[in-house]
Structure formats: C-alpha cells, structure tokens
Amino acid sequence: MFNLSGFSTSKAEPRHTRVLILGAGPAGLSAALYAARADLQPIVLTGTQIGGQAALTHTIENYPGFPEGVGGAELGDLFQKQAERFGATVEFDSAQSVDLSVRPFRVVTDNGQYTADTLIVATGASPNHLEVPGEAELTGRGVSYCGTCDGWFFKDKKVVVVGGGDSALEEGIFLTRFAASVTVVHRRDALRAGAILQKRARENPKIDFVWNTVVTEAVGDEKLTAVRLKNLQSGEESLFSTDGLFIFIGHTPNTQMFAGQLKMNGGYIEVDERMRTSVPGVYAAGEAADPHFKQVVVSAGMGAAAAIEATRFLQEMSA
Ligand code: NAP
C-alpha cells in the first residue's frame, strides 16, 4: 500500500516487474520485444489505444520490410504477437500517476498498482484540436481526428480537411475513397507534407485546396453542417457547407504525468542518445520523446534502444 499523495490506498499489493512499459504503440511494443528476448518478462500497459497512432493509419507505406505497405492496425497486431511470443504481457490498463522518486518506481493504474525496477515511457502523442467554437460539441457528429476510423461515415459526402502536413494529405487522400469531395483548408499557401503525398493529393480529382485560410467555427446543431472560414490575407469570412471536418494540425506528446519528475523540453521528455531520461532507470521512446522525426520506424528503433539500455541497467544493478 502506498502512502504518497496522489496514490491510491487500495489494499491490493502492487505487482512487481523488472521492466514496465507505458504505451503499446511501435515504441512500446518494440521495447517489449527486446526486453522479452532478454528474458525480462516485461509488462506493457496499453493505455487507451493499442497500436498507438500508427494503428489508426489505414496503410503504412514507409515501414521497411513491407514493399506493398501494411495496415496500421495489422502492424500493431504483429508487433504485439511478436513481443508476446517471447514472454511480454500486454495489459489493457492505463497509468494514472507515477512516482519516480524512489526505486522500484511506482505506478498507479486504472486497475491496480505496479512497482518496476525500470520504466520505459512510450506514451505517444495525441492530436491537437483547433480550439474553435463548435469543435468539441460536434466531435463524433461530423468533427473527427481520424480518417481511417470515421471515413466510412462520409460516403458520397463533402468533407473538409484542415492542415498542410503529411497527416492532412495522407488522410485526405484516404478520405477520397468515400467522400464525394475533399477540401483541404490550409493556413498558408505552401504545404508542409512530403513530395510524394503532395503530388498524389494535387493530382487527385476529388481534392481541392483553399489556401491562406483557417476554420474559425464548426457549425451545426445535432450534426455538423458547415464550417466558418476566414481568409488570413483578406480577413474575409465565409460559411462553407460540409458534412465532415477532419482536423490534422499536429500532435502534443502525452507526457503531462511526468511533469516535475522527468526533464522535459517543449512537452517532450528529454532523452540522451541512449534513450536515458533525467532519472536513472527510466527511459523514453517514440513520440513522447521525439520532437524531430515522428515516424513508425524511428519510434520502433527508439523502443528497441530503450529496452537494450534497461537491460544493461538491470545487469549492472545485479552485478
Ligand atoms: P505537422 O507536420 O506538424 O503538420 C501540421 C499542419 O497543421 C501544418 O501544415 C501546420 O501549418 C498546420 N497547423 C498547425 N496548427 C494549426 C492551427 N492551429 N490551425 C491551422 N493549421 C494548423 O503534423 P502531421 O501532419 O500530423 O505530421 C506529424 C509528423 O508525423 C511529421 O513529422 C510527419 O512527417 C509525420 N508523418 C509522416 C507520415 C508519412 O511519412 N507518411 C504520415 C503522417 C505523419 P504550417 O505548415 O503552417 O505549420
């Protein structure tokens, strides 16, 4: 039973593990694979989303080893099966609070408590919101942050996509499978997305672009019926009728739980080249610790590196 403020006083004894991994995206599950193959029987807490953001991507075309691409959910499933085959345990549970001031580290979850000799933080990132009127109220009623999840509901409908990065174009292109038209609204007149996606989007007859423009309101009562647009050059406002509003304007790392306990930079957990955080025995990998690359292959590599370091740390501890 823990006596620390913020910790549950549940009578259940904490479950101890040598390696506890928070997050079951590419980083967490790769860490699990490596820790499992070091015979450390790691436990992975999935958080709310097994497979991480990658699992929400319809097709991943740039993960090596899959020349024809691979489904995001399928890749997550393969990662999990491979880690479990070597002895990792994946629990559908979310960490609520952590105490990294003593070792073993202490983690309180939705369903119980854990103590861990090493911790690998792979909690990923969540999509940013526009923070405009109507957005929260109409989420799930026309407003969405995932084309792969919700595209089906927009068969033969009009949709608006906000953003000019890889996510906006990738998801916009995916949405053309269902939607009658996809209008990409971008705040500048130049796209941030990579060349291949730009070319595909510009050549897609169902996609058109509205430049130098932002969405200032999601409009509708029971469901979305329009968005209010504002041209940033002329200041002109207009109402644009649409059935869907898909928002892809970047992500924020899920690291709030570690504030004040791990050194951070702009919300990202600071790691050195060996995935070590400011607390010995705690490692971070994937988008929670990666402001630069945000690629599935990089997250997987960071996860593997974190687990190798955790293994070395445990060996030194017991030497
Ligand atoms: P991103 O690259 O940060 O792009 C976000 C886009 O949203 C930018 O175009 C940005 O405009 C715009 N934006 C940001 N805040 C906004 C606001 N408040 N209102 C309106 N527009 C706003 O994010 P992402 O597309 O999610 O990509 C994240 C990372 O994942 C990137 O490193 C990307 O390469 C990677 N990724 C890769 C793939 C792939 O390789 N196939 C797929 C998806 C994501 P500005 O351009 O003006 O800043």
Task: Decide: 189 in ligand 1 pocket, CB within 6 A.
Answer: no
Backbone angles phi, psi at 96, to 5 degrees: -105, -40
Supply the pTM of this predicted model: 0.87
Rounded to whole angstroms, the maximal C-alpha distance in the chain is 69
Q: Is 150 a catalytic residue?
A: yes
| Residue 4, pLDDT score | 40
Which residues have C-beta within 8 Å of that of residue 205, sequence separation ≥ 6?
none
Q: Which residues of 56-73 are buried (b: 16+ CB within 10 A; e: fewer)?
A: bbbebeebeeeeeebbbb
The model's pLDDT over 103-130, given as tens digits with 9 standing for 90+, comes to 999 999 999 999 999 999 999 999 999 9
- Residue nearest ligand 1's atom 13 by CA: 249
Check 117, 150, 166, 243 and give the catalytic one: 150
The band of 98, judged by pLDDT with boundaries at 50, 70 and 90, is very high
Instruction: Check whether 51 has a pLDDT greater than 80.
Output: yes
The model's pLDDT over 3-18, given as tens digits with 9 standing for 90+, comes to 343 444 455 789 999 9
Q: Is 146 a catalytic residue?
A: yes
Beta strand 181-185 with 282-284 is: unpaired
Ligand 1 centre distance from Cα of residue 191 (Å) = 9
- Contacts of 169-173 with CB under 8 Å at 24 or more apart are 169/193, 169/197, 169/198, 169/200, 169/201, 170/57, 170/197, 171/146, 171/147, 171/246, 171/248, 172/147, 172/201, 172/207, 172/246, 173/197, 173/200, 173/201, 173/204, 173/207
Ligand 1 centre distance from Cα of residue 251 (Å) = 8
Instruction: Check whether 290 has a pLDDT greater than 90.
Output: yes
**CA-CA distance, 50 to 24, in Å (whole number)?**
5
**In the block, residue with structure tokens 């490596």:** 34
Question: Could you tell me the two tokens for 293?
Answer: 């690359």
The model's pLDDT over 252-268, given as tens digits with 9 standing for 90+, comes to 999 999 999 999 999 99
Backbone angles phi, psi at 227, to 5 degrees: -125, 150
Atom of ligand 1 lying closest to residue 292 CA: 32
Which residues have C-beta within 8 Å of that of residue 203, sequence separation ≥ 6?
none
Percentage with pLDDT > 90 across the chain: 90
**CA-CA distance, 187 to 215, in Å (whole number)?**
9
Listing DSSP states for the chain in one string gives: ---STTS---SSPPEEEEEEEE--SHHHHHHHHHHHHTT---EEE-TT-TTTGGGG-SEE-SSTT-TT-EEHHHHHHHHHHHHHHTT-EEE---EEEEE-SSSSEEEEESS-EEEEEEEEE---EEEPP---TTTTTTBTTTEES-HHHHGGGGTT-EEEEE-SSHHHHHHHHHHTTT-SEEEEE-SSSS--S-HHHHHHHHH-TTEEEE-SEEEEEEEESSSEEEEEEEETTT--EEEEE-SEEEE---EEES-GGGTTTS-EETTEEP--TT-B-SSTTEEE-GGGS-SS---HHHHHHHHHHHHHHHHHHHHHHH-
| Residue 11, pLDDT score | 53
Task: Decide: 192 in ligand 1 pocket, CB within 6 A.
Answer: yes
Instruction: Check whether 292 has a pLDDT greater than 70.
Output: yes
Task: Decide: 294 in ligand 1 pocket, CB within 6 A.
Answer: yes
| Residue 242, pLDDT score | 98
- Residue nearest ligand 1's atom 26 by CA: 250
The model's pLDDT over 158-201, given as tens digits with 9 standing for 90+, comes to 999 999 999 999 999 999 999 999 999 999 999 999 999 999 99
The model's pLDDT over 202-229, given as tens digits with 9 standing for 90+, comes to 999 999 999 999 999 999 999 999 999 9
| Residue 7, pLDDT score | 45
| Residue 170, pLDDT score | 95
Q: Alpha carbon of 117 to those of 22, 166, 243, 274, 276: distances in Å?
A: 14, 38, 50, 18, 14
Domains and CATH numbers, the chain: 15-126+251-318 (3.50.50.60), 143-247 (3.50.50.60)
Task: Decide: 167 in ligand 1 pocket, CB within 6 A.
Answer: yes
The model's pLDDT over 268-280, given as tens digits with 9 standing for 90+, comes to 999 999 999 999 9
- Residue nearest ligand 1's atom 31 by CA: 294
Ligand 1 centre distance from Cα of residue 165 (Å) = 4
Peptide bond into 64 cis (omega under 30): no
Q: Is 99 a catalytic residue?
A: no
Task: Decide: 165 in ligand 1 pocket, CB within 6 A.
Answer: yes
- Residue nearest ligand 1's atom 48 by CA: 192
Task: Decide: 164 in ligand 1 pocket, CB within 6 A.
Answer: yes
| Residue 1, pLDDT score | 34
Ligand 1 centre distance from Cα of residue 261 (Å) = 29
- Residue nearest ligand 1's atom 2 by CA: 165
Check 39, 110, 149, 208 and give the catalytic one: 149
